[in-house]
Amino acid sequence: VYSDYGVGFFYAHLDTFAPGLQTGDRVSIGQFIGTVGDTGNAAPGAYHLHFGIAVGGGGSDVNPYPSLRAVCP
């Protein structure tokens, strides 16, 4: 997911995507985009999400922890 300001948001291990959601669609804050899964090296039932923030089309990684703490104290 990319913002209008060139910030990319990375969601890995999604199991399903929202019905009708297509590459290039605009999404809104709080909009459902998918469900987490247990893909990769995860044990069955170990649902998890790898989330990342990158500025400039994936160039500079940003630690998402401070942003997440600000909205989920």
Listing DSSP states for the chain in one string gives: -B-TTSEEEEEESEEEE-TT--TT----TT---EEEB--TTPPTT--B-EEEEEETTTTEEE--HHHHHHH--
pTM attached to this predicted model: 0.70
Range(s) of the domain holding residue 17: 7-71
How much is the average pLDDT of 42-66?
Answer: 83
Kindly state whether residue 50 falls inside one of the protein's structural domains.
Answer: yes
How much is the average pLDDT of 37-66?
Answer: 84
Kindly state whether residue 1 falls inside one of the protein's structural domains.
Answer: no
Kindly state whether residue 2 falls inside one of the protein's structural domains.
Answer: no
So what's the pLDDT on residue 57? 60
pLDDT of 36 > 90? The answer is yes
Predicted confidence band at 59 (pLDDT cuts at 50, 70, 90)? low
Kindly state whether residue 54 falls inside one of the protein's structural domains.
Answer: yes
Number of separate domains in the chain: 1
pLDDT of 23 > 70? The answer is yes
